[in-house]
Amino acid sequence: MGYTDQRFDVNLSILFTELPLLERPAAAAAAGFTAVELWWPWIETPAPPQAGLDALKRALEDAGTQLVGLNFYAGQLPGPDRGAVSVPGEESERFRTNIDVAADFAASVGCKALNALYGNRVEGVDPAVQDELALENLVLAARAADRVGAILLIETLNKPESPLYPLVSAPAAIEVVDQVNAATGLGNAKFLLDLYHLSMNGEDLPQVIAAYADRTGHVQIADNPGRGAPGTGSLPLEDLLDQLKKAGYGGWVGLEYKAGDAPSAESFGWLPAEARAAR
């Protein structure tokens, strides 16, 4: 058990950001990883030119890296935004424009998990109106994900860093997962269990794992405090991942941490080189 028993992937939107996007898959491969994940890379547009999509596909393939997770369009991320599905007007329209673009790109590279960030509360808008819009958009996203054989992920973020984001507990995200599955009948909406965000919210991590491991479609980690690599904070990440495995989770564990001032490639010392390639 322990770290050597997990299936890790590198989040290329938070690690290797010292490099241009198209050079990051090769850098991850050079560090020994064969699986990667991404936030939506084109924050300015939900529908980039086909040439841009093709170039990213080539970069992933040339590096021998498998994309295992992709965010739908989520607004300015990194930045002030936390998704678009519940944000009325232009952002919601952008999300809808992006649904098939993201799903088709995922299909083209064999990615089986699409994450839809819920979006911040908007001042002056009734939360119930936002939640109704979110469900409509998430149903569309779940159907598109299903069309390409993928799951739809719903993520809890943390309140200190995302004070306007409404899904700041595991039960809040699970409730949305259940609503989407009830509305579609597809059962492909799953929980994205991020141990860093949940710990920042003060949740009982072993209890969350016991309650929701069977509804979890993807896991992400960073240490707390600091959102650094495992071992830079006080979270018992190795033990928590063991608990997830014992509870039946056999999916990917995304490394969504900050490397600090050093080059990203130097932030993987906690993980033996032979444990980095996907199994």
Question: Which residues are identified as catalytic?
Answer: 155, 256
CB-CB contact of 13 with 259 (8 Å): no
Q: What are the tokens at 9?
A: 């992937």
For the chain, report the end-to-end CA distance as a whole number of angstroms: 14
Beta bridge partner(s), residue 58: none
Please give the C-alpha separations between residue 160 and each of 120, 165, 197, 202, 255, in angstroms, as whole numbers: 13, 10, 9, 11, 21
Q: How far apart are CA 41 and CA 214, in angstroms?
A: 30
**Residue 223 near residue 230 (C-beta atoms within 8 A):** yes
66-71 vs 113-115, strand pairing mode: parallel
Mapped onto helix, strand or coil, the DSSP state of residue 70 is strand
Whole-angstrom distance, CA of residue 275 vs CA of residue 31: 11
What backbone phi and psi angles, to 5 degrees, belong to 113? -145, 125
